[in-house]
Chain A
Amino acid sequence: MRKYLELPLKLFLITFILGLILGVTYIYTKEPIALQTAAKLQESRNEAYPGCEFTEVDEALWREFVTEDGEYVKEVFEAQKDGQFAGYVVTVLSKGYGGDVELIIGIDTEGLITNVVVGSHNETAGLGANAVKPEFRNQFQGKKSAVLKKDEPDNAEAVDGLTGATITSRAVTRGINKALGLVEKLMEAQG
């Protein structure tokens, strides 16, 4: 009988101690990790719309303009250049091949894309993961919509998709178009 008590007790002890170690590590790393994440997002916004100051737009002000279908709009920031309103930076989660693809999209007052940054994602290395490369992302600069040559070959705005990663490419364009649609409505509402 003692033998049968000993094993579960020892296993409990092992998991308990390891759980404590894990808990303590989590507490001590929580704040630095939050700071790192915030700093990284700030960096992404700076890349999406360079030379701007950002202030977060209250969700209540824009949520009504978003249609809930697939892509999820996470945050909207107002961009200001030299104290002047310059547009928006929108963070969108779009369904890719391996889960959500985080996109940070800068849009100026004309409704043109300033730049697109691909944040955290889980796309296939060597294929979909190439979406983070500037050669792909920079194609969207100055465009007012995002379409792939593969889908609309005659559209002058169309860009090259990623080789072997159509699902990822479409996730990016859908996410961008979602952000563009939102910003258009937001600017209309604000006059």
Chain B
Amino acid sequence: MNYRKIFLNGITKENPVFRLLLGMCPTLAVTTSATNGIGMGLAATFVLVGSNLVISLIKGFIPEKIRIPSFIVVIATFVTVVQLIMQAFIPSLYESLGLFIPLIVVNCIILQRAEAFASKNKPFASIIDGLGMGLGFTLAITLLASVRELIGNGTLFGLQIMGAAYQPALIFILAPGGFIALGLILALLNLVSAKE
């Protein structure tokens, strides 16, 4: 297996948000500011790498028929353990990422990678896949969040970008704006890939 290919797969060809349309819940919910996008993305990447590794290590013990409940229990346990340890020993990190951690349990990208990749591949390849998918997710939601924050609030990473005369289109940081912005970005990407 070509590790470079596995890594890039998650960022471009099978980008979880823009290509597989997975994890729409956190994608739409937290992308109200670019800082949130990065926070959620990094927290999810961390969990994704960890859960991919654990699943890949124990794939031999899990019977085929009960793999889904087993994966879910493994992921939920992993996320909770990470949350507790982070809260206890790295409070500064918990303060910025803590908000997103409970949302990660319901992120279907993690279950999908367990099912589609980690349960069929070696531990190291699974880590690389987790990294690629996680970074792909991070890039995608940070891009979406930047568009929403810029149009909806006139700022980017909290910095004022648009001039004072700019009247922010508040709808973009509200829920409907999430769907609109995501739809526009998807259309644009499809247009580009259709021309290739």
Given contacts A6-B63, A126-B36, is CB(A18)–CB(B74) below 8 Å? yes
- Asked if A156 lies at the interface with its beta carbon under 8 angstroms from chain B, I say no
- Chain B neighbourhood of A2, CB < 8 A: none
Tell me if A1 counts as interface (CB < 8 A to partner B). Answer: no
Q: How many residues of B contact A (CB 8 A)?
A: 28
In the complex the two chains form, is B87's CB within 8 Å of A33's CB?
yes
Consensus secondary structure, chain B interface: helix
Interface: A163 (CB within 8 A): yes
Q: How far is the CB of B142 from chain A (nearest CB, A)?
A: 14
B30 and A22 form a contact (CB under 8 A): no
Q: How many A-B residue pairs have CB under 8 A?
A: 65
| In the complex, A191 has a CB within 8 A of chain B | no
Q: How far is the CA of A104 from the CA of B87 in the complex (A)?
A: 21
Known: A32-B88, A36-B87. A21 touches B81 (CB 8 A): yes
Against B, the Cβ 8 Å flags (1 = close, 0 = not) of A1-37 are 0000011001100110011011001101100110010
Binary CB contact string for chain B from 21 to 57 against chain A (1 if under 8 A, 0 otherwise): 0000000001011001000000000000000000000
Check: B183 CB closer than 8 A to any chain A CB: no
Given A10-B63, A164-B174, are A22 and B80 neighbors across the interface (CB < 8 Å)?
yes
List residues of A whose CB falls within 8 A of some B CB: 6-7, 10-11, 14-15, 18-19, 21-22, 25-26, 28-29, 32-33, 36, 40, 124-127, 163-164
* Pairs A–B under 8 Å by Cβ, sample size 11: A7-B66, A10-B66, A11-B66, A14-B61, A22-B80, A26-B84, A29-B85, A125-B36, A126-B173, A164-B173, A164-B174
